[in-house]
Structure 1
Amino acid sequence: MNREQGFSVDRGPARSAARDSLFLLTTISSAEGANLGKARIRNLSATGLMADCERAIPAGIAVSVELRGVGQVTGHVAWSRNNMIGMAFDEAIDPQLARKPVGVGAARSQLPDYLRSNFKR
């Protein structure tokens, strides 16, 4: 490992942001819009993600993913090993947005009054 440059041949570039473990499903597309398959995001940071993919995706290609609560995110595959990838984002995101429950406010307002007091956020 070349620690001065923060790079390991086995692991790829050193991570520069704190990672959050989670489990999100998404679809990966090429920069041209070709579907590259579904992926399970295992961890997410402001600058990238790690995912298990349906099939191998080569390192170095430009890709995009749709992240719940964040939207479309573009970047490139920084490393690839079997069906796992590390994606580096073109622009930093707020990874906490992907953790926010989807539709909680709307779901709560549609509940009958007797259920609202027991509804957990």
Structure 2
Amino acid sequence: MNGGQDNSDRGPARSAPRDSLFLLTSLRTPEGAPLGKARIRNLSATGLMADCERAVPAGTSIILELRGIGEVKGVIAWARADKIGVAFDEDIDPQLARKPVAAGDRAGTPDYLRTQLRRR
């Protein structure tokens, strides 16, 4: 039923529904060693698939930052060239990563920028 398509670049079966999206993040080891940048292509409660700027081997423990969620720990479940699949150590709410950054919220804006914004 797959019409003869080659599925060799896919990882193991997923256990949770996935959302397609594009988010940028940086990967690092738990010890803090940088593993490069990654572009997240899809995200679920239990993991993600991403394109990496360099190969990261399967079995590597990683930490990444997700907008709206924060720091997430996981393990590279599979790796094929520059693509990886990550299994999270703990489930997340993937919808939090989709929430837009509030344009009117200045709570995180440094004081020196707030005064410039008021003058406009």
One-letter identity of the residue aligned with 1:35? P
Aligned length: 103
Q: How does 1:1-121 map to 2 (within 5 A)?
A: 11-106=10-105
Matching residue of 1:117? none
**What is the distance in 1 between the residues matched to 2:82 and 2:11?**
15
TM-score, normalization by structure 1: 0.77
Structure 2: stretches of 5+ with no match in the other structure: 1-7, 107-113
Q: How far does residue 72 in structure 1 lie from its aligned partner after superposition?
A: 0.2
TM-score, normalization by structure 2: 0.78
Q: How far does residue 54 in structure 1 lie from its aligned partner after superposition?
A: 0.5
**What is the distance in 1 between the residues matched to 2:82 and 2:27?**
13
One-letter identity of the residue aligned with 1:54? E
Q: Could you list the runs of 4 or more consecutive aligned residues of structure 1 that deviate by over 6 angstroms after TM superposition?
A: none
Structure 1: stretches of 5+ with no match in the other structure: 1-8, 112-121
Q: How far does residue 105 in structure 1 lie from its aligned partner after superposition?
A: 4.2
Two-structure CA RMSD over aligned residues (Å): 2.1
Q: How far does residue 94 in structure 1 lie from its aligned partner after superposition?
A: 0.2
- Report the secondary structure of 1:58's partner residue: coil
Q: How far does residue 47 in structure 1 lie from its aligned partner after superposition?
A: 0.2
Query: What is the percent sequence identity of the aligned residues?
Result: 70
CA contact (8 A) 2:9 2:80 kept: no
**What is the distance in 2 between the residues matched to 1:15 and 1:56?**
21
- Report the secondary structure of 1:13's partner residue: coil
Deviations along 1:7-39, one digit per CA (max 9) or x if unpaired, are: xx8744320000000000000011211110000
**What is the distance in 1 between the residues matched to 2:69 and 2:18?**
16
